[in-house]
Structure 1
């Protein structure tokens, strides 16, 4: 049977890049793209780009206006009937990723949205794989070694993003008995390790935003002790690993931490990024409590372009074991590059686009 794919989250950065990698590495008879109505025009432009840069043709793509927060994904009944007999692979990436997202929005998209995608998946008679994009941070405030086989461990959560992704992953795990699932838990996604390309300057880029604004300060201190590990993973590693693990039989029924197997501490990351970007070294330590107090002010957050919630990741001493991912990727030549080796590609892209408002989150 020919492979027919269904994606949510298109034309978002990761979903678009995943489709781009897919058509280069796997035979895709057809690709269905569930797109919010307001993004249809953008999706059409992205499909044109994909066709122009590959051997695929327009007839291999179908953009379906829909909404994961609605029953049946808000697809017309006749379209749902038509495609359910064809689809072999589902990739569910649609979610809200903002650390400061309000609870009601996060729940509606991340939890109810996943519930509706699960219901759709259960109607597919020829399904070979359902790949769900979770996050390593479903571990919440847990510290110590976090295993890929663990989920419900009485943890609490640092924000509504984490808690709703946890609830959504529980829903996906609940259907894994009847559906061939693969759950992907990335670390904090950063730009391409080769080109530096990224869609948003969040995550590790909050540090660059900070350094850029305070570069003229006579002293720039460390933020807290910084002894927690920073798990920032380039998007190209996540894409390659996801596609591989979503097509090999060993991936069925497994959860994978696509995290850095050799992470640096936040203190080390802070220092090396400052050195590379400003050619300076940190002096002294600013207590995190004081930094959070400053970022509690909207004017400070907006000026620095830094979310207060990002500071929580300086203190949570979690170590993400990625044994299953490492083992099942053996022989594929897919590996997570060393963080320090790829800083050189991050900085030119950031410098080129740092004044582009579409590259920054809207800080409230």
Structure 2
């Protein structure tokens, strides 16, 4: 930490008052006390720029004070060209790692950097996907996956110099106890269309099991492992694993069950595999599909709807369970989070400030934000 109990959140683009307002909303979401909020400082910078765009003296000052870094800055926009994904995900990794080296060289024995990657650095690989594997010459479904692998390779190379831990979460869903979530991507985008009766067909392999993991499980795991000396130099799959994952048939069934319980009056559409739609769908279904925003959503997420990934996470789950961190029930979490998304109007209910935060998050996509503590 820069000082005992003090944290710094680096944010790009917005003026400091706007950044401070976003931090205040984030602190309120996290339930921080007034004293805890007072320990968090907003710092205007861009982690993809050399020295984060800071004056050299300030950058060196921070490097001399910081004892822990969590690098979560990333763009998760699957549609970006490779050059733009690299600017967000690789350039930021390079600069954060340079900062971490400077922190370590200044002789803080307890300095710990934490690097958040993604389980989907596996790209198009199939079969047993282990934590020890990284670049196996795989192809990728999108620039996001490729740029995240390139960033992770840089982090792995830095392990010889700094006591770094790499985390690979899968697809994040809401908190297991309340269903809360801040960014309504993936499943929640399909839920929004279903609620509005704008999902004329379902296109997915019904038996495929996507890897969904509650956000509090991921956060609890990272916080615990960041304090364990033996976690330095290791890679952790923060995933559910196939045996604890739900099929798309069950996931979409649960979605429409919750909508029905709330009196939505929305009927579950017919389900097709990709490649079957044009041959088997009715003319009315085809017309609605081609005019629906679902078509664009399917184009974005198709690789994750057609197949499943078998992430090796057994050893990590055993290690976390020994510390009392157990993977929550995925179906229960998804049901709670579906209700939370509907009740919160996907993060916009309650106040205009919350709506503005949601819009800001969607526009920036976290691509130039990092946290140091």
Q: Shorter-chain TM-score: which interval?
A: 0.7 to 0.9
By how many angstroms is 1:106 displaced? 1.0
Change (3 A) 1:290 1:201: farther
1:104 maps to 83
CA RMSD of aligned residues (A): 3.0
Matches of 2:168 and 2:98, distance apart in 1: 21
1:166 maps to 149
8 Å contact 1:207–1:270 — kept in the other structure?
no
Change (3 A) 1:212 1:164: same
1:12 maps to none
Residues 130-157 of structure 1 deviation map (CA, whole Å, 9 limit, x = unaligned): 1011111111111111111111112111
By how many angstroms is 1:206 displaced? 2.5
Change (3 A) 1:98 1:29: same
Residues 39-58 of structure 1 deviation map (CA, whole Å, 9 limit, x = unaligned): 63343135546388326356
Q: Tell me which of 38, 41, 59 is aligned to 2:14.
A: 38
8 Å contact 1:32–1:62 — kept in the other structure?
yes
Q: Where do 5+ consecutive residues of structure 2 fail to align?
A: 280-285, 349-354, 364-373
Q: Tell me which of 267, 288, 294 is aligned to 2:274.
A: 288
Matched, 1:128 2:111: yes
8 Å contact 1:64–1:75 — kept in the other structure?
no
8 Å contact 2:210–2:308 — kept in the other structure?
no
Change (3 A) 1:213 1:291: farther
Matches of 1:214 and 1:170, distance apart in 2: 43
Please report the TM-score for the alignment, with normalisation by the length of structure 1.
0.81
- Give the number of aligned pairs: 333
2:282 maps to none
Most deviating of 325-334 and 270-279: 270-279
Q: Tell me which of 128, 139, 144 is aligned to 1:156.
A: 139
Change (3 A) 1:252 1:273: same
By how many angstroms is 1:276 displaced? 2.6
Look up the SS of the partner of 2:259 in the other structure.
helix
Matches of 1:159 and 1:93, distance apart in 2: 19
Look up the SS of the partner of 1:38 in the other structure.
coil
Matched, 1:347 2:338: yes
Change (3 A) 1:214 1:181: same
Q: Where do 5+ consecutive residues of structure 1 fail to align?
A: 6-27
Matches of 2:219 and 2:15, distance apart in 1: 22
Q: Tell me which of 175, 181, 200 is aligned to 1:198.
A: 181
Q: Tell which has more relative contact order, 1 or 2 (C-alpha 8 A, sep 6+).
A: 2
Residues 104-132 of structure 1 deviation map (CA, whole Å, 9 limit, x = unaligned): 22110101111111111111122621101
